Amino acid sequence: MMRASQRAWLILVSMAALAAIALVAAVACGSTGCRAVPADILWALRLPRALSAFAVGGLLALAGALMQILLRNPLADPYVLGVSGGAAAGAMTAMLLAPVALMTWSVHLGALAGALLATALLFGLARGALLHLVAAVSGVRLILTGVMIAAGFGACMTLILSLAPDARLRGMIFWLMGDLDNNLLYAPACVALVLAVAWACVNAARLNVLSHGDAAAQLLGVPVVRLRAVTLLVASVATAAAVAVAGTIGFVGLVVPHALRMVFGHDQRLLLPASALGGGIALVLADLLARTVVAPTQLPVGVITALVGVPVFLFLLGRGRA
């Protein structure tokens, strides 16, 4: 029989090959169909956009997998703790106030600043929950803290939308549904993905123990409080990086880890890198659909992930596996 390590490597290599195929398809096809286009369009537009989609999808799926371990809640996703709300509020503030000439960079920097502010608020307000070793209690406190942070930023977004001039309102709404047009930060996003996956792989064995309970992990010598804090920080920063690049894109961080867990099991040494690859593949293909399904009009990629993610998640719930 095939050893577990050999099976894991085979799965990861197969998913990496699928990721390469998805990236090639995203570069080769566009709103004009799968036909030859000038090289500058391939290298300056399609490849950066495909890499942005892969990095953002990988970051969201990995963050979702980490949040589900940390909170032991199958409904946890990268947006449950309010980080995306902070990023969206920051980006929309930049859209409202920034001059047109600096709009693109201002949106990215505003989103990143808002996400980091939300992360700082979360750590400041939920410090007691991170130190608490009763998983059910600490998980509920973290979620409630995140929900309140998200509600506060949601009120800020409503205020910004009500004050925004008509000329900028469409751009704000489009960004809120996921926008991969501005791919200036694809390289930092790819670096963030590599660093997050490297940390997850190094700590996967400890996360396996943590998933069985804080008390048991502490008895086995795992530094529970530090591991939980760093896991939350990695998931939050990964979400911040993804949202700063592409806006709010739902369901990738919720559905992809669930689907892979059904197929591959609960071993985090396989599930975490597979989630990063699976999320990247899912968002690259979703973006390809968004660019081609009603070409030459482009849909927000968040519309595609929602249209696919909702029935998939309902199917998982119906089977009792979610």
pLDDT band per the 50, 70, 90 thresholds, residue 135: low
Mean pLDDT of 73-83: 79
pLDDT of residue 138: 63
pLDDT of residue 136: 53
pLDDT of residue 256: 93
Mean pLDDT of 151-156: 93
pLDDT of residue 126: 75
Between 12 and 3, name the one with better pLDDT.
12
pLDDT band per the 50, 70, 90 thresholds, residue 125: confident
Q: Please say if the pLDDT value at position 111 is more than 50.
A: yes
Tens-place pLDDT, residues 230-283: 998 899 889 888 988 888 898 899 899 988 988 888 889 999 999 999 999 999
pLDDT band per the 50, 70, 90 thresholds, residue 322: very low
In this prediction, what percent of the chain has a pLDDT beyond 90?
Answer: 31
Mean pLDDT of 61-74: 87
Predicted model pTM:
0.90
Residue 252 corresponds to which tokens in the numbers above?
Answer: 């990738």
pLDDT band per the 50, 70, 90 thresholds, residue 130: low
Lowest mean pLDDT among 29-33, 79-83, 132-136: 132-136
pLDDT of residue 2: 58
pLDDT of residue 133: 52
pLDDT band per the 50, 70, 90 thresholds, residue 1: very low
Mean pLDDT of 69-87: 82
pLDDT of residue 137: 54
When the pLDDT of each residue in the chain is averaged and rounded to a whole number, the result is: 85
pLDDT of residue 172: 84
Angle formed by the axes of helices 47-71 and 268-292, nearest 10°? 140
In this prediction, what percent of the chain has a pLDDT beyond 70?
Answer: 94
Mean pLDDT of 98-116: 82
Mean pLDDT of 292-304: 84
Tens-place pLDDT, residues 280-294: 999 999 999 988 888
Tens-place pLDDT, residues 197-225: 999 999 999 998 888 777 777 777 788 88
Compute φ and ψ for 243, nearest 5 degrees. Answer: -70, -35
pLDDT of residue 278: 96
pLDDT of residue 174: 80
Residue 236 corresponds to which tokens in the numbers above?
Answer: 């939050």
